[in-house]
Amino acid sequence: MQQISKRLMSWASILEDTTRQQAATASTLPFIHPHIALMPDAHLGKGATVGSVIPTLGAIIPAAVGVDIGCGMIAVRTQLGRDDLPADRRPLREAIEAAVPTSAGAYNTEVTREHTVARIADLEAAAEKAELDPASYAANWRLQLGTLGSGNHFIEVSLDEDDRVWLFLHSGSRGVGNKIAQHHIKVAQRECARWWIQLPDRDLAYLVEGTPEFWAYIRELRWAQRFALLNREEMMDRVATAFAAWAGVDAVEPTEQINCHHNYTTKERHFGKDVWLSRKGAIDASAGVPGLIPGSMGTRSYVVVGKGNRLSLNSSPHGAGREYSRSAARRTFTQDDLRAAMGDIEYRDTDAFVDEIPAAYKDIDVVMEDAKDLVEVRHVLRQIVNVKGD
């Protein structure tokens, strides 16, 4: 851990100057308490750094949560091992791609399944309680439930250190969550301008606790976080069904399951005060709390348990963190480079994924070494099937 300033602490051994400066700028806001914690995977973001933990008193910064509200991971350990699996993994990948819409703008047509209907009803009830009409943001929000999206979102089938089979996926609140986030970022910018508040970066615009705008954001934020959680559960049900059919078993019997956010805000107590804690690319690593830290496409992922490091605000990294922007990765790497990096992992061979090549990300081994005071590793997962959207 390095103390960069009184209000900024870092666990990142790989940290670009622009990322450090962005975090330092955010740390100057007067309501930060006691400091911003930079995670090992920290990299440049919109206003606030991705891979940062931002505690605030009496205010909240919508951009510090991010535009994919509630983004996170879910993992299930199945009852099967490597020797129980068929040799040909391509049918499994194709079955998962058929069960879960995987690209930006792809929606579900299968919304009449019992578990899908129940989750939609849950979200409708939550929206009514939050005084929210999700259709005002996305008329087709119900069809977005159970969809993966693109970018760094993924579905994986992996083996742990004992060759036990895990199902693992990463996604969030989809288009409806994005539109909720974008709306409230604009509201915060408008309110700061209305009150002549000088900001070091307009994307650090904030809402003041107690105002109608603040509580409207909190209500809708919590709904989007619920959507993201249920979205992951919905996809996992579909992946588990496809996996069971391919493996020749009646159903997946989960022996472990973890579902955690890494883009969210919650109320927590730190250093003697109740704060709004925004984890933008970070997970809850309170003592004994299980979590998930995925590597990049083609590398390892980790099932961890938190150590409750007080200075890190009980947080840890959420993944490898980008070193190359998507455009820079496309200029630097080729589809052949990606093929070499993926080895014998079953994936859809397309140049659409070149910007997700492992070399575009920080070395996950370095990230986990930096995080050794934050989490304890319980399982190390290696991929055998990878599913992504264009």
Known catalytic residues are: 318
Angle between helical axes of 174-194 and 212-247 (0-180°, round to 10): 160
Spatial CA neighbour of 183 closest among 129, 144, 137 = 137
